[in-house]
Amino acid sequence: MLKYRPVIVPCLQGSLFFLAYICSFLVRFDFMVPVNIWGMCMLFLPVNVAVKFVVFYYFKMHMGLWRYFSFRDASRLVKATLVSTIVFMGVVLVFWGHGYPRSIYLLDGILTLMFMGGFRVLVRLFREGVLNDAPAGSKVVRILIVGAGDAGDMAARMIEQEMKGATVVGYLDDSPSKKGMMMRGYPILGTTDDAYLVAKKHGATQLLFAIRNVPKSLVRQVVESCVALRLSYQILPVFRDMISGELEVDRIRAIQVEDLLGREPIELDKQVVRDQLKGQCVLVTGAGGSIGSELARQISRFHPSVILLLDMGESALFEIDRELRCYTPREVKIVPVLASITDRITMDAVLAKYKPSFIYHAAAYKHVPMIESHPLRGIENNVFGTKCLVELADKHKVRRFVMISTDKAVRPTNVMGATKRCAELIVTSMASASTKYTAVRFGNVLGSNGSVIPIFKKQLESGGPITVTHPEMTRYFMTIPEAVELVLQAGTMGDGGETFILDMGQPVKIVDLARKMIDLSGKIEGADISITYSGIRPGEKLYEELIAYGETVEPTTFDKIKVHKRPVHEKDGLYASLATLYDWLKKADEVEAAGLLWKIISSHDPDVKVTTGL
């Protein structure tokens, strides 16, 4: 249809111009137009239509999509009609004088406005009514919108225009004073406290959150109150991502468990981060992983000169490289580096060539059962890969080195945690005049590769059961963007040798996480899907900690970041032990290597149990 639009629209507009002009004479003379007046009418008919064409073209009235006719379009239509009437009146006065019926100017303008506007309104009504009727036999989606504001209005308009077979039943809003009022023809049925009763009474099948920067606490409250109704839940994108007030139906997304567990946005001093990174070369190791890729995304927004994306996984590196090139400013150079952090020769060459000012070290083997089965690979990558980077950062005078650590490094009970604890010791014991070394420790991130949420999602999709290791298993959780923001902020702080610890909030029971995901899927635990317990795996703890026994932490200028300062005099003894550990690694002796690793950790953490072998 759009292919023929350049022909159809002028023909329709010309017909409406003609009809408005002729009708103005018929109305003025009660459909009994004198012959001499009719002659005058025909004489100026082409002039009238031509003037309207020119003026309406100037106001771009031919460009608008009539099915999306809006108040802004109506305003332009009024202006175009008024100007065309004035111009036509001027032409008539110049070439005919004062014998032309003056009331025709007014009538012609009014009828032109009515015909042009009315036709557009009819097109929109037809689209929103007839075309959006649900197909025969299909189930109608009844949507209850949470938020009776600008975003709610846009959501309702989008539903009317784009969602066939969907109808808005009304709104909920936090303001009690709005209850009973109407917006866009739909009633405001109550407050968010009334969500369950309103949804049940009006037969809602879907809740759509349409609030500017909707608080996560509100999402949790509404979803938890409506669990029994088995609704589906949707949420608009972040308000700042809506361009020019336009919404697209595919931008609306289903509510994720992250929306229920995540905390409210944290206000950080991004100007400090921007001042630090702008115009600098930044190296991100593990750039293909969940944390590394998000680090790269957020760093790109601070306009560094170069971002070095380093990863040993070709596919993951390819994806983040391609993604960043799509939206990163042209002046920011993206350089993918396919390499392992254990390859000293390659890493030395990369740092010598690009001379990064900042290194964010996120590369690590992280899966507990896998590293428990392959301890030498965990030691090689997590311990000696970190040691390699630390020493090269000093050699090439990197300004800041920030290592990403984990809560599993606190009183570790598995090899992976022990390797990360050892890596922490390497980083924080490094004293350098040119480089500031720090570690940032936090817990699990929601939705990271291989984490519990993607696993639960796959189990849900396959019909279950959802497998939980133990009913009392708890973990700290944080969203990936929030964790990375705090890492970047912590990276601007300290003088070197610190371990920064992120406030993870309250720990969450894994079984409660599974139940929330079942609720969001519209299923009922026990009836539709079950939860089974598989038992604790080797090396796992029932709960994780962020602060080791004997560690003293102090507050920083940011509420969500604490700091632990470790003495730097431990380096000599640590490096002597690492030399012996490296020998056992090269001999591929898992028992001796793992035993020495535990001894290294226990010498710094007396409460860690020494393990002599696997």
Catalytically annotated residues: 408
- Beta strands 281-285 and 306-311, pairing class: parallel
CA dihedral 163, 252, 454, 483 (to 10 degrees): 180
Task: Name beta bridge partners: 446.
Answer: 479
Please state, in angstroms and rounded to a whole number, the distance separating the CA atoms of residues 422 and 597: 8
- Beta strands 186-190 and 182-183, pairing class: antiparallel
Q: What is the DSSP string of 314-360?
A: HHHHHHHHHHHHHHS-TTSEEEEEE--TT-HHHHHHHHHHH--SEEE
Please state, in angstroms and rounded to a whole number, the distance separating the CA atoms of residues 275 and 399: 14
CA dihedral 410, 412, 417, 420 (to 10 degrees): 50
Please state, in angstroms and rounded to a whole number, the distance separating the CA atoms of residues 176 and 190: 7
Of 206, 175, 203, residue with least CA distance to 188: 175
Is residue 443 within 8 Å of 546, Cβ to Cβ?
yes
Radius of gyration for the alpha carbons in the chain, expressed in angstroms and rounded: 34
Neighbours of 602 (CB within 10 A): 15
Is residue 247 within 8 Å of 467, Cβ to Cβ?
no
Please state, in angstroms and rounded to a whole number, the distance separating the CA atoms of residues 326 and 91: 54
Residue with tokens 């630390």: 390
Residue 441 parent element (H or E): strand 436-442
Is residue 240 within 8 Å of 266, Cβ to Cβ?
no
